[in-house]
Chain A
Amino acid sequence: NAGVMQNPRHLVRRRGQEARLRCSPMKGHSHVYWYRQLPEEGLKFMVYLQKENIIDESGMPKERFSAEFPKEGPSILRIQQVVRGDSAAYFCASSPRLYGYTFGSGTRLTVV
């Protein structure tokens, strides 16, 4: 049973481009969480999704950021028109229930 798979591991985007981060949860896990870690900081909650539903997006910036977890396929975190301040490590976690998280290895986004 593979762990939580995130790809790409590293992503470089120029300012103004779009970034798409993918997360495949563990088999049987229906809860997906996205967290962001800025340099020298802890992880900050962004969004919680279940299949086809956004349950809590209280940590998502109001503009440019969106997330989905379709019925088929991975969860996607999309950042439009990236800026340098978006450079961070983005971690996805999945769970079969509340708590019991398993984190992926993260996607390191660098905006140049």
Chain B
Amino acid sequence: DQQVKQNSPSLSVQEGRISILNCDYTNSMFDYFLWYKKYPAEGPTFLISISSIKDKNEDGRFTVFLNKSAKHLSLHIVPSQPGDSAVYFCAASEDGGTSYGKLTFGQGTILTVHP
């Protein structure tokens, strides 16, 4: 039962353009969402997060949008840079008071940014 889904295994973008990575979830108890970036042979590194009480959170070139009614979130990277090439994971958590910060991850999307 895949509760967090990233339906695009890969995405290719030209440098300077926008990258949009998508994520869908099925568990309506999820109320905190995160995006992680992962390079080969390294652990995931935290990028940006959003609480379910918001619909947008922005940090520099990265913006996360949350559509609770559609159970959908997206990560926008503008402008994209070759160094952004990595695997991006969407993750979700239920109420922090009961889930102890346990995360459910999507399968990941490989982003390639071409110079």
Within 8 A of B (CB), among A91-112: 91, 93, 95, 98-99, 101-106
Asked whether B44 lies within 8 Å of A98 as measured between CB atoms, the reply is no
A residues within 8 A CB of B89? Answer: 42-43
Cα separation A4 to B91 with both chains bound (whole Å): 20
Q: What's the interface size class on B, roughly?
A: 20 to 34
Asked whether A56 lies within 8 Å of B4 as measured between CB atoms, the reply is no
Q: With an 8 A cutoff between CB atoms, is A69 at the interface?
A: no
Number of interface residues of A (CB under 8 A): 26
B residues within 8 A CB of A33? Answer: 101-102
Q: With an 8 A cutoff between CB atoms, is A65 at the interface?
A: no
Within 8 A of B (CB), among A35-71: 35, 40-45, 48, 55-56, 59
Q: With an 8 A cutoff between CB atoms, is B41 at the interface?
A: yes
Asked whether A41 lies within 8 Å of B107 as measured between CB atoms, the reply is yes
Cα separation A48 to B93 with both chains bound (whole Å): 14
Q: With an 8 A cutoff between CB atoms, is A22 at the interface?
A: no
Distance (whole angstroms) from the CB of B43 to the closest CB of chain A = 3
Distance (whole angstroms) from the CB of A67 to the closest CB of chain B = 14
Distance (whole angstroms) from the CB of A108 to the closest CB of chain B = 8
0 or 1 for each of B87-115: is its CB under 8 Å from A? (1 = yes): 00101010010001111111110000000
Asked whether A103 lies within 8 Å of B45 as measured between CB atoms, the reply is yes
0 or 1 for each of B35-46: is its CB under 8 Å from A? (1 = yes): 010000111111
A interface residue numbers (CB < 8 A to B)? 4, 6, 31, 33, 35, 40-45, 48, 55-56, 59, 91, 93, 95, 98-99, 101-106
B interface residue numbers (CB < 8 A to A)? 4, 6, 32, 34, 36, 41-46, 49, 89, 91, 93, 96, 100-108
